[in-house]
């Protein structure tokens, strides 16, 4: 389980939401994933496109740009695909 920090995934995920993931080889554009990127640490983003060995990411919030989305990232850094989200009432 991972905690969302920031607003780059609004409106799908908001700051302080929790995301439950699991490892999966069934990845599709549009899926939300958690990756552990060398230059950025753990990030939660949406899959924009896929190739054999890499994933191009994107954030949902058009007002915020994420530099980790500027280039494709290796699939080796994938932690898991989101299977559920939880929002606290406060």
What pLDDT, in 10s, does the model give residues 43-67? 999 999 999 999 999 999 999 988 9
Residue 90 has pLDDT above 80, yes or no: no
pLDDT value of residue 15:
95
pLDDT value of residue 89:
79
Q: The CATH number of the domain where 29 resides is what?
A: 2.10.109.10
What pLDDT, in 10s, does the model give residues 7-49? 999 999 999 999 999 999 899 999 999 999 999 999 999 999 9
Domain that holds residue 72: 2-86
Report how far residue 85's alpha carbon sits from residue 66's, in angstroms, rounded to the nearest whole number. 21
Q: How many residues does the chain have?
A: 90
Give the chain's domain count.
1
């Amino acid at each position: 389980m991972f905690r969302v920090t920031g607003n780059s995934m609004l409106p799908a995920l908001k700051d302080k939401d929790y995301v439950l993931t699991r490892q999966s080889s069934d990845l599709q554009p549009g899926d939300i994933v958690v990756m552990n990127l060398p230059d950025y640490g753990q990030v939660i983003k949406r899959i924009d496109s896929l190739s054999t060995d890499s994933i191009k990411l994107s954030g949902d919030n058009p007002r915020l740009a994420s530099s980790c989305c500027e280039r494709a990232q290796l699939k080796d850094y994938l932690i898991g695909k989101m299977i559920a989200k939880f929002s606290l009432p406060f």
